[in-house]
Structure 1
């Protein structure tokens, strides 16, 4: 990741408060990921209603300890249905977690206190209980039909609602 110093513009406001997602540099865009790992969980969609059901089953490339992809540069070649978060995807995906920085900024909201860009520590997302650390199983070797046996409510919730 490129150096993001200074994080603030000349008016002393952080870049994510000054720029739209479309205006961000690649390094600013990448820095928005809080490392929660929620987007790497398998989800089931009801074809009739569009409702999303979350599971606690993680992509085979998700490192359960770091909540980071084990092969980020090649993830879409290894996992063809991996969705790269582009501006178009952020604007169309309905299942981004309510704590996701991309979603928050898209919707004109600010980041939570535990986001590493505010706290200065990538561990605060885990300490705050936002991440999937220690709460997942791998999809490796699992049949798609078995996902229904692993539903979870917490990934779509906002455990920090009202606390910024």
Structure 2
């Protein structure tokens, strides 16, 4: 394990409990500390960004500096979230990384057309997943990003 890294708030949209466990393990192995919130679907992503109930306390649910987004989720999938982000300029500036099991060329193209900043296919081995998360966190930590907002306006 590496030393502790204090990160800006991260929002993760993932509906698969096994993937959530894998993701948390990868973050822990990388020493990631900081606000990390996991929501199970696209509707919850939008509620979180808008600070709608139950996410209206920004001390408990800080506005994210980065979003990790699965594509295949119930209620509203990742594509629906990307479409929503594109229509809300205050939120469209949040670095949004698609992290999915799909390597379908049409999914990749569609995600980038809708404004995804990166598209990663999730590895199944924890070592590979840990390495991928380390590179991703390091990359976005050194990138210039817009000021963190409080919430997105409708």
Q: Same fold (TM over 0.5)?
A: no
Q: Which has the higher contact order (CA 8 A, sep 6+)?
A: 1
In our comparison, the structure showing a higher alpha carbon Rg is: 1
Higher strand residue share: 2
The normalised TM-score by structure 2 is: 0.31
